[in-house]
Amino acid sequence: MRTNTHSIVIGYIAWIFGFMGAHRFYYGKRITGTIWFFTLGLLFIGWIIDLFLIPAMDREADMRYQPGNYDYNVAWILLTFLGLFGVHRMYMGKWITGIIYLFTGGLFFVGWLYDLWTLNSQVSERNLITSR
């Protein structure tokens, strides 16, 4: 049985900003998310096509990532709105790096960008550790 790790509603909300790759990062598609970021969603054409691809991206993310104590949606919301303060890291129990982010503006944006690329894997890893 497949566990729902990602929310299709949050996927569509992120799609609104999808011309910057937000929904693709959310679903773990880092490379195409970066391409969408630098090309404005492939000049908005890919962004519009993604409106119809989100259900498939959601199913794929649900199969790919490990469910557990840490919620992907909460982690992504915290990264999006409070990421520069490290709140998403504190949520996952990474207190030292969370405090470092708090005092350095997400380690001068570089750490925040890194987390944009790797947050799904970080949450999945934390869920694996806590499920043992």
The residue segments making up the domain with residue 23 are: 8-64
Report which DSSP code applies to 68: S
**Tally of domains within the chain:** 2
**pLDDT tens by residue, 16-43:** 987 789 999 999 999 999 999 999 999 9
pTM beyond 0.85: the answer is yes
pLDDT at residue 131, as a whole number:
81
Mean pLDDT of 113-120: 96
pLDDT at residue 115, as a whole number:
97
**pLDDT tens by residue, 51-107:** 999 999 999 999 999 999 999 999 999 999 999 999 999 999 999 999 999 999 999
Does 78 share its domain with 125? yes
Dihedrals phi, psi of 93, to nearest 5 degrees? 85, 10
Q: Is 5 left (phi over 0), alpha (psi -120 to 50) or beta?
A: alpha
Residue 38 lies in a domain: yes
Does 59 share its domain with 76? no
pLDDT at residue 2, as a whole number:
66
